[in-house]
Structure 1
């Protein structure tokens, strides 16, 4: 799309609307936005923003929103002045991109900002499962000590096979770290070429091949209609009974009810999930109650460095687009 300076002359008073209830403060955003537009108005709403949309949000010149905020076409078509929707995150599946295009609203996201953090989470989950930490935490004060407390003995991590589904920035970084751990690394990604395969020291396989060979499966795919329920009971049944699944992509990439059944029936050993189907959850979801399934509250991306980068880039995208400039983070 083409860009123009929307605030030429003396009119430098854009209304910027932040939709979020995850951050506790917005000093970074305010510093960047006020530096570019000293007289801008910054207003905030939580997840349930509909009343504010009618009151003032529909007049916003820019929106900064959390990655799990739904912005359907119905909402976007009510925006009268909006030039940009800047998403705090590496995905944009909850924004109606086609509706934004029709309104000539740019959409930006922040790819790559948390590669180190999410890949560290995946590696941490491998160690967590391999060393039986959940069991030993619960067994430490039960009596047996030392070898007598051992529940089961696993092979060393260097003897294990990791299957990576999706070989983008995060998948590649997980592979690099796993290779340093001397793991056997298999990859499923139709876009993986022979040169890249050799360069990373991984082996490209089909989905079925990887699932059947893996001790650990980690998922790093973009969520869309092609990856929804990518992993369901049919896939779990191809896995080893001792295998674990790690998911940091999107909850709906896994068919959640099938995962619950697979773990309960010991089709697979367990799962580590940083994402679930319903986010943010209401608190009564069954997924939280299943022994062998561990859920963290969508925090794999977090570090002091990643959060600062996320806030800086999302805010800078607002400034660039409102000043008529382009951004490499623009979706279209």
Structure 2
């Protein structure tokens, strides 16, 4: 019997760890010449599994791969895959949700604390020869009198919420899928999304990017936020309307933002976010540590290996089986 063929559509991580891991498990594996639909389809006609990083996988492309039964994402988010189209075709979609939980949570808390204590402004002032403790911008808070709203109480959001509670912050959690008792057991207050946004001194986002959450933070939502509030996003860039965010910051309604992810990446050279001193920017780096870099491609390959062996993997569309 011929071993199943797995196609790696694209991957910007160093080396060939994905292919090596798949081949080590007895599967056939190769990489597409590029992430374009035509290049994927050249080898994809016989593929039973795909490993995807950034390539767009839509229903038309799936139809060119009639043997496909599992798509494994190299990463946590999966908005580059048309999950509804996959579900309708009986194709499972898996992600790699556990490879960087600690890193993203730590990066998020670091961003929150950097803004909450005004560290960028202090740093610039000292370098410019100013020595004045009372000039922190946008904030210099006491945790016990500061409310942080966490949107999303999954693996990362729950770790962020617990960490912030440990530092003494008041923490609100908005997640319609999280049991209220679990939120309360973490020392946090369960609330609805509009309430969380309106009451936040600091708002941090930890929800998946879907049609329903795209531009969740738009001009209308920003207008409900407290004057001087701060937004932190280490999740998905399109959750925020960046033009509306920049306008709110320029108008001094919001006090600041800390952003690791953006609607387009790399962040455009002419993005107004680059020119705002109260915005802290990092290059989609929250996931990174040497350990996470080593784990990520292996986890993506193991989704294929384990699933084909009949084992459980983190499927994001469990209803796919109904279409088979």
TM-score band, normalised by shorter chain: 0.7 to 0.9
After superposition, what is the alpha-carbon deviation per residue over 1:124-183, rounded to whole angstroms, capped at 9, x for unaligned?
011111222222332223222354876687232343211111112212111110111011
**Of residues 8, 20, 30 in structure 2, which corresponds to 1:42?**
30
Q: Is contact 1:213-1:240 (8 Å) kept? A: yes
1:114-129 → structure 2 map (5 Å cutoff)? 114-129=100-115
Structure 1-normalised TM-score? 0.85
Verify the 8 A CA contact 1:119 1:173 in the aligned structure 2: yes
Distance 1:200 1:45, change over 3 A: farther
Q: 2:52 aligns with which of 43, 50, 65?
A: 65
Shift of 1:238: 1.9
Paired residue for 1:30? 19
Question: Does structure 2 conserve the Cα–Cα contact (< 8 Å) formed by 1:20 and 1:44?
Answer: yes
Q: Residue 16 in 1 paired to residue 12 in 2?
A: no
In structure 2, the residue matched to 1:212 is 198
Range moving further from structure 2, 129-138 or 119-128: 129-138
Say which SS state the counterpart of residue 218 (structure 1) adopts. strand
Q: Deviations over 1:233-262 (max 9, x none)?
A: 222122222211011222222122111111
**Could you tell me whether the CA contact under 8 Å between 1:166 and 1:188 is conserved in 2?**
yes
Structure 1 spans left out of the alignment, 5+ residues:
1-8
Match of 2:294 in 1: 308
Q: Does 1:223 align with 2:209?
A: yes
Distance in 1 (CA, whole Å) between partners of 2:94 and 2:139 is 47
Q: Which moved more, 1:281-290 or 1:244-253?
A: 281-290
1:198 to 180, 184, 192: 184
State the aligned residue count.
317
RMSD: 2.5
Superposed CA offset, 1:163-219 (max 9, x none): 111112212111110111011111122234342232111112233333333221101
Answer whether contact 1:63 1:84 (CA < 8 A) is retained: yes
Which whole-Å CA distance do the structure 2 matches of 1:177 and 1:256 have between them? 28
Deviates more, 1:220-229 or 1:48-57: 48-57
SS at match of 2:7: strand
**Aligned mate of 1:327, from 308, 312, 319:** 312
CA distance in 1, matches of 2:149, 2:135: 30
Distance 1:63 1:149 in 2: 53
SS at match of 1:259: helix
Partner of 1:3: none
Q: Secondary structure at the match of 2:163?
A: helix
* TM-score, scaled to structure 2: 0.87
Shift of 1:93: 2.2
Structure 2 unaligned spans of 5+: 319-324
Match of 1:164 in 2: 150
Counterpart-to-counterpart distance in 1, 2:33 and 2:268: 19
Does the 8 Å contact 1:18/1:45 carry over to 2?
Answer: no
Q: 1:316 to 1:77 in 2, by over 3 A?
A: same
